[in-house]
Amino acid sequence: MDFELDERQKELRREFEEFCLDEDNRRILAELADEGDYYNAHSWELFKKMAERGWISLNWPVEYGGRGYTPEEMTVFHETMAYHRMPIIALILSSLVGNVVAYFGSDALKAEILPRASAGELLFCLLYTEPDAGSDLAALTTRAEEDGDYYVVNGTKIYTSLGHLANYGLLAARTNPEAPKRQGISLFLLPLDSEGVTVSPIYTMGDGRVNEEVFTDVRVHRDYMIGEKDSGWFVLTMALGLERGSIAGVAAQGRAFLDGLIDLLRETGMTSDPVVCQSLAEMETVLEVSDLLNWNLTTLLGKGDVPITEAAMAKLYSSESMRRMGSEALNMLGFAGLLRRGSPGALLEGLSEYQYQMAPMISIGAGSTEIMQGIIARTGLGLAAKG
Ligand SMILES: Cc1cc2nc3c(=O)[nH]c(=O)nc-3n(C[C@H](O)[C@H](O)[C@H](O)COP(=O)(O)OP(=O)(O)OC[C@H]3O[C@@H](n4cnc5c(N)ncnc54)[C@H](O)[C@@H]3O)c2cc1C
């Protein structure tokens, strides 16, 4: 396969890069980095600037204010943003939720959400995982009971990225407890300022923040339901596919890390050490394979395929590669590599410490490594592995 960018894609990359390298935008990024948590970072200022360029809604359908970008163009976007450490979680979530609302939302919901979201005024989060339902998401117990034109929501969600900043959450809740577990689930776009919603922090390794949301008798109008009642699993499967399709950003962050590492090791003369060179060569190879898997996935998505196996492979390999790179870098940098941004003597602005602590979480979010292996065994190899 030929993954060479065409002229339009190269032009887009230049346009995205220009934004990322803009002096004022670098200043905002540096301020965000000082807060320590790159993964969950968000800047409304940057987000609005991106919205002015139409970048929040790039791959939404054109009739809803999107630009109808192809998967290839989206990969160029995510790669460029991630390489320059732009906060991409909010972008990925806007692209995902915008598409879900455009395709499956009520007319009232589309009118309420899509113009404001594409203007960069709204943030979204995913309310899937529960204390007793993570990998086995269909075991979720959050209830949404019908009451006239409303549903009444009770339950708890955990590990929500951006839950403390989001205006709306894509909520998976059980609307029919009698049905088989995948058939009784519905999706809602829940306004998080509704009465009865409590959001609290959960701090992760590396001082990242995810969240817990408790819903106590939260009333949500039926217009906020996404798709048909009890058919949420179908939409959820599509949404998970969209999330895994945006994995290219992970490898691009790894690429930026390796480039910085090589520059640093050159400056210190360590690149004359054959063992260091072997490690760097290994990292380069791992990133090349990640890129190939990501572009293979992108190309299949561009053809309109539903590449479940390839999405799992790209997610599995890219996230596990981050772990390997984090450990390898620490082996080379020694104790100084463990110092955080802002500490005297910290190398690479603390990125090696951050990379090391963040990598395990990337291998859990959006489906863990073992779950990806199970998918590949089942859908790729036709084996009967459960997961
Ligand atoms: C940084 C981060 C951000 C996240 N953001 C969000 C978010 O925004 N919204 C949201 O809803 N969730 C989010 N999550 C939650 C994430 O999707 C879950 O953590 C993940 O699906 C795993 O679920 P669990 O934590 O309940 O672990 P469990 O499902 O309890 O798994 C525990 C361990 O058992 C293994 N395991 C489980 N089942 C099997 C099996 N069948 N075969 C083999 N091994 C298995 C898993 O791989 C894992 O190692 C986030 C998680 C992280 C780390």
Task: Express each pLDDT in 144-187 by its tens digit.
Answer: 999 999 999 999 999 999 999 999 999 999 999 999 989 999 99
Across the range 219-236, mean pLDDT stands at 95
Residue that terminates a domain, selected from 199, 232, 265: 232
Across the range 264-273, mean pLDDT stands at 93
Ligand 1 contact via 364 beta carbon (within 6 Å) = yes
Residue 159 in contact with residue 116, Cβ under 8 Å? no
138 in any annotated domain: yes
Ligand 1 contact via 361 beta carbon (within 6 Å) = yes
Average pLDDT of the chain is 93
Residue 387 has pLDDT above 60, yes or no: no
Residue 56 maps to which CATH number? 1.10.540.10
Residues 94 and 167 in one domain: no
Question: Domain count of the chain?
Answer: 3
Best probe residue, ligand 1, of 171, 364, 369 (max atoms within 8 Å of C-beta): 364
- Which of these, 2, 100, 361, 21, lies nearest to 209 by C-alpha position? 361
- Output b/e per residue, 145-157; b: 16+ Cβ within 10 A: eeeeebbbbbbbb
Residue 385 has pLDDT above 60, yes or no: no
CA of 66 to the centre of ligand 1 (A): 32
Residue 295 maps to which CATH number? 1.20.140.10
Across the range 272-279, mean pLDDT stands at 95
For residue 208, the ligand 1 atom closest to its alpha carbon is 1
Atom 30 of ligand 1 has which residue's CA nearest to it? 134
In a 3-state reduction of DSSP, which class is residue 42?
coil
Tell me the C-alpha distance between 218 and 190, whole Å: 9
Ligand 1 contact via 371 beta carbon (within 6 Å) = yes
Could you give the maximum distance between any two Cα atoms of the chain, in Å? 73
Residues 202 and 290 in one domain: no
Tell me the C-alpha distance between 127 and 156, whole Å: 9
2 in any annotated domain: no
The first and second tokens of residue 297, run together, are 């996935």
Residues 279 and 198 in one domain: no
Residue 139 has pLDDT above 70, yes or no: yes
Q: What percent of the chain has pLDDT over 70?
A: 99
| Residue 109 DSSP one-character state | H
Residue 288 has pLDDT above 60, yes or no: yes
Residues 69 and 141 in one domain: no
Residues 191 and 140 in one domain: yes
Residues 158 and 140 in one domain: yes
Residues 256 and 340 in one domain: yes
Element counts in the chain: helices (H) and strands (E):
12, 8
pTM of the predicted structure, to 2 decimals: 0.95
For residue 137, what pLDDT is reported?
A: 95
Domain that holds residue 112: 7-122
- Which of these, 52, 54, 101, 95, lies nearest to 245 by C-alpha position? 95
Residue that terminates a domain, selected from 232, 257, 285: 232
Residues 138 and 193 in one domain: yes
For residue 366, the ligand 1 atom closest to its alpha carbon is 17
Residue 225 maps to which CATH number? 2.40.110.10
Residues 105 and 152 in one domain: no
Residues 211 and 100 in one domain: no
Residues 271 and 221 in one domain: no
Residues 106 and 15 in one domain: yes
Contacts of 361 (CB under 8 A, 6+ apart): 39, 204, 205, 206, 208
Ligand 1 contact via 38 beta carbon (within 6 Å) = no
Tell me the C-alpha distance between 64 and 97, whole Å: 13
Tell me the C-alpha distance between 321 and 311, whole Å: 15
For residue 367, the ligand 1 atom closest to its alpha carbon is 21
348 in any annotated domain: yes
CA of 271 to the centre of ligand 1 (A): 39
Across the range 86-93, mean pLDDT stands at 92
- Which of these, 358, 361, 356, lies nearest to 335 by C-alpha position? 356
Atom 51 of ligand 1 has which residue's CA nearest to it? 365
Residue that terminates a domain, selected from 232, 261, 277: 232
What's the one-letter identity of residue 32? L
Ligand 1 contact via 186 beta carbon (within 6 Å) = no
Most confident among 1-10, 114-123, 304-313, 343-352 (mean pLDDT): 114-123
202 in any annotated domain: yes
Atom 42 of ligand 1 has which residue's CA nearest to it? 387
For residue 1, what pLDDT is reported?
A: 73
Beta strands in the chain (DSSP E): 124-127, 143-147, 150-157, 168-174, 185-191, 197-203, 209-221, 225-226
Tell me the C-alpha distance between 20 and 58, whole Å: 17
